[in-house]
Amino acid sequence: MSLRAWLLIAGLLAAGFPARAAEPTIADMLEEARAMASKGAPDGAARQQPESEYVRTMKAMLEREFNRKAKDAQNDVIALGDLYFDIQNFDAALGYWTTALQRFPNDWRVRRGDLHQRLCRLYMIKDRKEPAEQMLDEAIKRAPDPGALRRLDRLKDWVKDYAVNSESAKDLKVKVEANPGDADARWKLLGLYREAYPMRLDEFVGLLRFREAFPKDERVAVSGDCDWRLMEVLMHFGITDEGMSLAEKFREKFPESRISTYGDACWRLGEWSAWLGRRQAALDYYRELREKYPKHWGSTGGEAVWRMGEIYRGLNRWQEALDCFKEVRDKFGKHWTCNPPPGQQATIQERIFEATKNGAR
């Protein structure tokens, strides 16, 4: 094990968190994912080709980002579990999350049932259905609002469908090994990795491999679906410079893609710009969405103008914030901020009051 890994483990032990020297490193997990992705090469010779400079660079970025996040999160046992879940070290994730459940009952992620949702998924992946269902039941009891209950309905469906999706993934792996040139089977498998059978590291490496192994495939060359999926995975793993670079070039590279023409690319550019603190860019993208893509759900449902109001609020531009919040109230009565749980004030009214208190009219 590398010195860096030993130092990380020493830090975890000092914080009182469980860590075992025998745990696979991020490099080990990347190698496993590379081996899996290589089974989808279109011919035997291609399997033996060295990885491209781009793939090596992306994997190095992932390793650096993982180690940076692990260092930053060394006092947050739940965040550490999240990191290990993403690189498919499920035993380590289980150790961190169960420790959090036992030692930190007042953490907001425990009180709201968020950690129980994580454990539900993890137990299902580890073929332990009974504790998975117990975690789901507990998450339902702890749900803080109707929105959380709706998300839990989706988790119930995920649990119900998991066995079928797991078998589908196994069948597709066999199919890919038997017929390496079957791009459709590889793509279906990558689709399962996204959510139904979450293997995020395999998805990351698999997308990089698919992009290079099948350059003329419609999903690579025309629709941009492969670039789009890769962009989302890069952002998830925190490789934000490369992710945003792909996002900013997407509409020019794939002008006929439904992602471009329906406004999804514009929406995600606004969303990610805001997440990265690029607030003026986010405002520009949300404004563009409303002007050029009026049928996008972010426009028709009021979410874009709500997010613009939140950005103006963060900038202390209270009049512009108030104008946005009033528009949500007056034009988008079904927006979630206008429909509070029984006995609570609507979030939109709280924002309007705050803006007027700060001088807006």
Name the residue among 327, 291, 330, 333 with its Cα closest to residue 307. 327
Report pTM.
0.83
Query: What sign does the dihedral 37-40-42-48 (CA atoms) show?
Result: positive
Orientation angle between helical segments 26-38 and 53-72, nearest 10 degrees: 150
Please tell me the predicted confidence (pLDDT) of residue 342: 80
Q: How far is CA 145 from CA 24, 251, 303, 332, 343, in A?
A: 38, 37, 19, 20, 12
DSSP letters for 101-118? HHH-TTSHHHHTTHHHHH
Q: Distance (Å, rounded) from C-alpha 179 to C-alpha 191?
A: 18
For the record, the structure tokens of 246 come out as 């792909």
Exposed, middle or buried: residue 348 (CB in 10 Å: 0-12, 13-18, 19+)?
Answer: buried
Contact 307, 274 (CB under 8 A): yes
Name the residue among 87, 85, 164, 88 with its Cα closest to residue 117. 85
Q: Distance (Å, rounded) from C-alpha 230 to C-alpha 206?
A: 9
Q: Distance (Å, rounded) from C-alpha 327 to C-alpha 347?
A: 14
pLDDT (tens place) for every residue of the chain, 361 residues total: 343 443 344 444 344 444 443 456 677 777 777 776 666 555 543 444 567 888 889 999 999 999 999 999 989 999 999 999 999 999 999 999 999 999 999 999 999 999 999 999 999 999 999 999 999 999 999 988 777 888 899 999 999 999 999 999 999 999 999 998 999 999 999 999 998 999 999 999 999 999 999 999 999 999 999 999 999 999 999 999 999 999 999 999 999 999 999 999 999 999 999 999 999 999 999 999 999 999 999 999 999 999 999 999 999 999 999 999 999 999 999 999 998 878 889 999 999 999 999 999 9
Tally of CB atoms within 10 A around 149 = 12
